[in-house]
Structure 1
Amino acid sequence: MTSLNQRRPLKGQLQTADPDVHLAHNYHPLPVVVASGEGAWVTDVTGRRYLDCLAAYSAVNFGHGHPALIAAAKEQLDRITLTSRAFHNDRLEPFAEALAQLAGKDMVLPMNTGAEAVESAVKVARAWGYRVKGVPQGQATIIVMDGNFHGRTTTIVSFSTDEQARADFGPFTPGFVVVPYGDAEALEAAIDKTTVAVLLEPIQGEAGILVPPADYLPAVREITRRRNVLMIADEIQSGLGRTGTTFACDRSGVVPDLYLLGKALGGGIVPVSAVVGNSDILGVLQPGEHGSTFGGNPLAAAVGHAVVELLATGEMQQRANELGERLHSGLNALIGHGVTAVRGAGLWAGVDIDPALATGREVCELLMDRGILVKDTHGSTIRFAPPIVVSEEDIDWAVAQLKEELELLATR
């Protein structure tokens, strides 16, 4: 039998030097050094091409170098890129108006990264709790979900249940209550007079693309509305076309009080994030209480506006839905043949590999050798999230490569 190491090329065949010698070791990347990309494909420094089935964790939903997004960025680069929010800029209000309209809301708080959007929402929810709901000062609590992933700032890891994200990073920020994901009864039981918000991912990404029961999000919406608690949907990975709808919440017919957006909002070009809601909630912020030097900068606003325009037609969402059915059909056919479960929606899938065959990391490395880039999580799960511009042929090829690799692993 051939071992995994025997079947993999030597590291020197892939790259000529260690690319991480001067980088802090906060990531464990696959041994490929990407130099360029176009559409759903990237090319490494040796000239080898790979099908990108991760899309930078959904930040590249519309593919590498999308012409409309690159054009928007290049045009703005020749005009002005940063003013700070000390002044108005001519790109920010049109972007905010378009994004608010896409979300069916009336106000946008622009930031840079997804974690900043989450932190901003925490502050907004607390301020709303004190100023509108009447929660006693210093007592506001927010309900979060077991298995959540919302970022890695000190406040966010304070309510993570992933020990790797928390170990040696305390003391932690108080004010959060953890309940099981997908359990509406447990959520309601946790609400008390101090509760100002429920923060959740409509589909948990880092946890392995976990899709809750169909009645869960509607139940959360009903409970939060009845109990006068904000519902905050972290759509940083799941939103903006990834699941076959504009937002993953749309799949359940649910409209939260606040959407948290990021990743794909910057088109894979610049970091852009936003909290989107109505003025009765976001309006609690007053000048000087929250800000960001780069948040809402002209370059980010120009690219973000172009992203919204791509989504406004609905074509991207429809494409993700149709191609997602093809992807899931192919992956589901592998259950019982090296795969134990497949979860997800649209062009987003979590695939559990039979641990008797290999770890998720090992399968990712073997697929990399075949020219496909995916990423593992939680030991045995690999994630597929190709750009929405991926072709049917590319999807079929990727699934076929996984099938062949699993068959080889079964003969080890």
Structure 2
Amino acid sequence: MAFESLSERLQNAIKMFRGTKEITEEDLKEPLRQVRMALLEADVNFKVAKNFVAKIKERALGAEIQQNLSPSQQIIKIVDEELTALLGGTQAKLTVADKPPTIIMLVGLQGTGKTTTVGKLAYNLKKKKKSPLLVAADVYRPAAITQLQVLGEQVGVPVFSLGNEISPVEIARQSLDKAAHLACDTIIIDTAGRLHIDEKLMEELQDIKATVNPHEILLTVDAMTGQDAVTVADTFNKDLGLTGLVVTKLDGDARGGAVLSVREVTGCPVKFVGMGEKLDALEPFYPDRMASRILGMGDILSLIDKIKDTTDLAKVLEAEKKIKKDEFTLEQFLEQMQQIKKLGSLDTILGMIPGMGGISQKLKEANVDEKEFARVEAIIRSMTPKERQKPEIINGSRRKRIAAGSGMKVQDVNRLLKNFDDSKKLMKKMQGMAKFASKGGKMLPFMHK
């Protein structure tokens, strides 16, 4: 997960203030040096890192400090607020045209996930009851049109294409008539990328802009490219006048410097971040929530949003009743695990829970990974319906059959049944949590080896 190292370094720097009664300039020297080094190692622009540290120092030594907070709490508050400001302050939402259609241009270099982002954005908008039309204006890259058509089919939205013999400018122009004909309220234009910025690319994009007058020009930048992403964003912004950015691949091993630098350098807000390969892995960007996650304070609001989007409330309420009656079965246990998988990777979920961000590494060391979910699912699916409903009937011979059917060992089946039994006991002790489940949260049974 991006920011893992930065998050750890910042939290360690803040811990240096524990036990101190006041903040002095001398006290700030080493922690701020650690903060600056952490930012630079995360590939944050040098000037941005320098200004960020200077602001923290100025505020920490200023008169604005709240006397009811401890020094470490004061520093956390200041760093959180400055990080939020650095990331853009408030959420920058997509512009919506007063009179449809809203026209969105996606631009970017090759390899940044631009075409995939078009599909993800369409998925995002469709969930909000919008009717997008995807426009295949990348006529140069082999299979770009086919890729967009496949994405359109997956999302369930129309794709407008005139093949690769018509100019992208003309394709964009005719897409306006097509959108009117299909009553689409949003047009998303997938423009051509290049391996590097060149004059011809910019001229074509400028011509498309002049022809369709888009409400949004979004640039996709790859978080993995670090400072190069910021340089690309700055160039595109000067030539095109960007309205926002989409930072992709933020779920990988990216150091995150692009997200922290790009607003300060270009003045363009980050509007979305790509957090995975799936179509639902494009998230609106909230500066305050990201700052909290970086500082290890979690992101409960985003987790709640994810739960609301992925949870079948009827199943949650049914599971709650079963728990109360001590009738919770392996069938519901499997459904709960499938709900967890819909939320995203274990790293992502833990990063959203206050105080849990650092547990990811411990789980890896304990050999707990995403494959554990698949192993558990395989075991449960190898059981008969009766065994799932009444696991107490699973004797020695049944365990051997289940292990063979799932490709696991008998010990794996034994461990699952024990963990299930332990989960039921825990659930009975936590009946109050079931009330939270009925309001949008849910019980999340946890597997471990």
**Fold equivalence (TM over 0.5):** no
- Please, what TM-score do these two structures have when normalized by structure 1? 0.31
- Please, what TM-score do these two structures have when normalized by structure 2? 0.29
Structure with the higher fraction of residues in helix conformation: 2
Which of 1 and 2 has greater Rg? 2
